[in-house]
Amino acid sequence: MLTGNLWMVDSTGWVVIINALVASAVLVGLGRFLARGRLTSGVPEGRQVFGEFAINFFIKKAREMSDAHDRAKIVGTVTPFLGTFFFFILLCNLFAFLPVPVVNRPPTSFFSATLALALCAVFGNLLLAARFKGPGGAIKHLFWPNPLQWVSEVTDVLSLSLRLFGNIGGEYMTIVLVAAAVPVGIPLIIHVLGLIPSFVQAFVFTLLTASFLAGAIHHEEREEKARRHWFGRRRSEPATRS
């Protein structure tokens, strides 16, 4: 954009990319720090306590999906999958609280970033379903029992991306507008209250991803249970008189 004799360059895209890379680097560094040293299967201490506390919820969610499947395989794969989404989104959301005007743009306030996260979640679910049930089972999930079952995968992408973008983007714009009008006092209150949706939106995104993954893994098992329940109930009903 040309204003007078100066060229004004929109750096929003680069800021979002750099912030996302910084969040990724922080996660990798923190993971290496927590996993460094000797780990024990007994009573944990120090870093191991914090690390196990952070991933315990995702281990429980993965175990819930392991019915009729290899538990160790599912827990070892699903736990880092869900944990990465949660902690990455949470760190990205927290960029809004940095006291630097340009750097404090959260990547999750940019729709391209939330759309990329949603695509990774949905395609990741299909890849994991293919790993646990085979490629045929993953493809069957898209077209059976409804040939338009794949449409739900598209709506999953839209719902995940739009929900995260709308909440975090709206929160960021609120902070910017309030800080421009009242630079002292009220912005601090908004920052403190903003911690809640930052955590909640990361949590909701992860829970929905886990729900979609569980549906993809246990799609046939749930249909079979419903079929057995229905036909078993019909057989147990007394014959009606003509």
In one-letter notation, the amino acid at residue 10 is D
Q: Mean pLDDT across the chain, nearest whole number?
A: 79
The answer to whether residue 238 is domain-embedded is: no
Q: Which of 98-102, 138-142, 198-202, 227-231 has the lowest mean pLDDT?
A: 227-231
The pair of structure tokens assigned to 65 is: 């999906």
CB 65 within 8 A of CB 213: yes
The more confident residue out of 154 and 115 is: 115
Q: Is 216 among the domain residues? A: yes
**Residue 67 belongs to a domain:** yes
Residue 185 lies in a domain: yes
- The answer, yes or no, to whether residue 161 has pLDDT greater than 80, is yes
Q: So what's the pLDDT on residue 108?
A: 92
User: Which whole number is the average pLDDT over 88-115?
Assistant: 87
* Token pair 């204003």: residue: 3
The predicted pLDDT at position 1 comes to 41
For residue 142, give every residue at least 6 positions away whose Cβ sits within 8 Å of its Cβ, in sequence order, or none. Answer: 126, 149, 150, 153
Query: With b meaning 16 or more CB within 10 Å and e meaning fewer, what string describes 232-242?
Result: eeeeeeeeeee
Quickly list H helices, 94-185: 111-133, 135-143, 150-181
Whether the pLDDT of residue 66 is over 80: the answer is: no
Distance CA 49, CA 43 (A): 9
Per-residue confidence (pLDDT) for residue 227, from 0 to 100 = 44
pLDDT for residue 7 is more than 50:
no
The count of domains in the chain is 1
Strand partners, 2: 7
Does residue 90 sit within a domain?
Answer: yes
Question: pLDDT over 70 for what percent of the chain?
Answer: 79
pLDDT at position 164:
93
pLDDT band, very low/low/confident/very high, at 149 (cuts 50, 70, 90) = confident
pTM here is 0.80
More confident residue, 99 or 227: 99
166: containing domain: 2-223
Q: Which residues 6+ apart lie within 8 Å of 119 measured at CB?
A: 157
Identify whether the C-beta of residue 100 lies closer than 8 Å to the C-beta of residue 92. Answer: no
For residue 81, being part of any structural domain is answered with: yes
Residue 11 banded pLDDT, cuts 50, 70, 90: low
pLDDT band at 8 (very low <50, low <70, confident <90, very high): very low
Residue 108 is given by DSSP the state: G
- Could you give phi then psi for residue 83, rounded to 5 degrees? -60, -35
Report for 9-13, 43-47, 151-155, 196-200: range of highest mean pLDDT: 196-200
Closest Cα partner for 77 from 139, 131, 13?
Answer: 131
For residue 146, being part of any structural domain is answered with yes
In this structure, is residue 234 part of a structural domain?
Answer: no
- How is the chain split among helix, strand and coil, in percent rounded to 5? 75, 0, 20
